[in-house]
Amino acid sequence: MRHRRKLAAGNWKMNGTADDLGEVTALAEAHPDPGCQIVICPPATLLSRMAEAVEGGPVEVGGQDCHPAASGAHTGDVSAAMLADAGAAWVILGHSERRADHGETNDTVRDKCRAAWDAGLIAIVCVGETLEQREAQNTLDIISGQLAGSVPDGATGHNLVVAYEPVWAIGTGKIPTMDQIGEVHDAIRARLERRFGEGVGRSVRLLYGGSVKPGNAAEIFAVSNVDGALVGGASLKAADFGGIVAALGGD
Ligand code: PGA
């Protein structure tokens, strides 16, 4: 079953105001018929305006996090249903910056993932090792533990995407070797197949994330079991992200 549609996902992190919406409309205009799916995850404050700006075009929008509860006394938090209400179809969960800055554990991420699914969102669950963990040759154990702990039962190729993001490659300009990326993606695929069965395991898309740029995208996308990218810095400008979309979609 090799029907995994390629996916270019952009994570704007804590960047972007109304002035930046033009980047997304420019992206949509430059790639009216991309050979891949395109998702941009802006800050929550921009979600509904971005969703309106891209409506009817090739770009979908997503959140960068959600609370595990559906509603309640959680000052400053945003629920999955609120993201959906604002026009999101996707949400990034368990990004290493959330794990590090907000103490998110695998259990937290799993609860958030359930909440996302309850709201009808597709979850992009992030896993990745630190430099210390890689140097101690613990990468595959760390990734396996994060995957087992962060992904709830009930995953399918329609509700889950997994992003492999080595912490040391995020925003640093450093990337693993293509062999290292392939080793981790193959391991993630094998673990998903073992847990969820071959059909589901083979249908979940696996993204690489960490310093993906137009200049290195084609090489990364040629690696086995890489179905696309989760892109931070290079997703902020239409020209940069467009280069990645083109490398992925062959347009
Ligand atoms: P980067 O970020 O592309 O700026 O390295 C990737 C991410 O954090 O998803």
pLDDT tier at 249, thresholds 50, 70, 90? confident
**What's the chain's length in residues?**
251
Query: What are 148-170's pLDDT values in tens digits?
Result: 999 999 999 999 999 999 999 99
Domain boundaries 7-249, CATH class: alpha beta
Kindly give the distance from the C-alpha atom of residue 210 to the centroid of ligand 1, in angstroms, as a whole number.
5
Cβ(233) – ligand 1 distance below 6 Å:
yes
Q: What is the pLDDT of residue 124?
A: 98
Task: Determine the residue of 95, 101, 170 to mutate for testing ligand 1's pocket, defined as the one with the most ligand atoms within 8 A of the Cβ atom.
Answer: 170
Cβ(166) – ligand 1 distance below 6 Å:
no
Kindly give the distance from the C-alpha atom of residue 9 to the centroid of ligand 1, in angstroms, as a whole number.
10
Contact of 244 with 7, CB cutoff 8 Å: no
pLDDT tier at 251, thresholds 50, 70, 90? low
Cβ(165) – ligand 1 distance below 6 Å:
yes
Torsion from C-alpha of 79, 81, 86, 89, nearest 10 degrees: 110
Residue 95 is among the residues annotated as catalytic for this protein: yes
- pLDDT of residue 250 exceeding 90, the answer is no
Residue 102 is among the residues annotated as catalytic for this protein: no
d(CA 57, CA 238): 15
Mean pLDDT of the 174-181 span: 97
- pLDDT of residue 1 exceeding 50, the answer is no
Predicted TM-score of the model (pTM): 0.98
Q: What percent of the chain has pLDDT over 70?
A: 98
Q: What is the pLDDT of residue 140?
A: 98
Q: Please choose, from the candidates 108, 111, 114, 166, the residue with its C-alpha nearest in 3D space to the C-alpha of residue 140.
A: 166
pLDDT mean across residues, the chain:
96
Query: What are 62-93's pLDDT values in tens digits?
Result: 999 999 999 999 999 999 999 999 999 999 99
Query: What are 27-50's pLDDT values in tens digits?
Result: 999 999 999 999 999 999 999 999
Cβ(152) – ligand 1 distance below 6 Å:
no
Residue with CA closest to ligand 1 atom 7 = 232
Cβ(111) – ligand 1 distance below 6 Å:
no
- pLDDT of residue 2 exceeding 70, the answer is no
Query: What are 98-150's pLDDT values in tens digits?
Result: 999 999 999 999 999 999 999 999 999 999 999 999 999 999 999 999 999 99
Query: What are 217-248's pLDDT values in tens digits?
Result: 999 999 999 999 999 999 999 999 999 999 99
Q: Which long-range contacts (CB under 8 A, 24 or more apart) does 224-229 make?
A: 224/182, 224/185, 224/186, 225/182, 225/185, 225/186, 225/188, 225/189, 226/181, 226/182, 226/185, 227/4, 227/5, 227/6, 227/7, 228/6, 228/7, 228/8, 228/9, 228/36, 228/37, 229/7, 229/8, 229/9
Ligand 1: atom nearest CA of 126 is 9
Task: Determine the residue of 11, 15, 92, 237 to mutate for testing ligand 1's pocket, defined as the one with the most ligand atoms within 8 A of the Cβ atom.
Answer: 11
Cβ(192) – ligand 1 distance below 6 Å:
no
Q: What is the pLDDT of residue 3?
A: 78
Per-residue 3-state assignment (H helix, E strand, C coil) for the chain: CCCCCCEEEEECCCCCCHHHHHHHHHHHHHCCCCCCEEEEECCHHHHHHHHHHHCCCCEEEEECCCECCCCCCCCCCCEHHHHHHCCCCEEEECCHHHHHHCCCCHHHHHHHHHHHHHCCCEEEEEECCCHHHHHCCCHHHHHHHHHHHHCCCCCCCCCEEEEECCHHHCCCCCCCCHHHHHHHHHHHHHHHHHHHCHHHHHHCEEEEECCCCHHHHHHHHCCCCCCEEEECHHHCCHHHHHHHHHHHHCC
* Residue recorded with tokens 């290079």: 234
Task: Determine the residue of 64, 90, 97, 231 to mutate for testing ligand 1's pocket, defined as the one with the most ligand atoms within 8 A of the Cβ atom.
Answer: 231
Q: Where are the domains of the chain?
A: 7-249
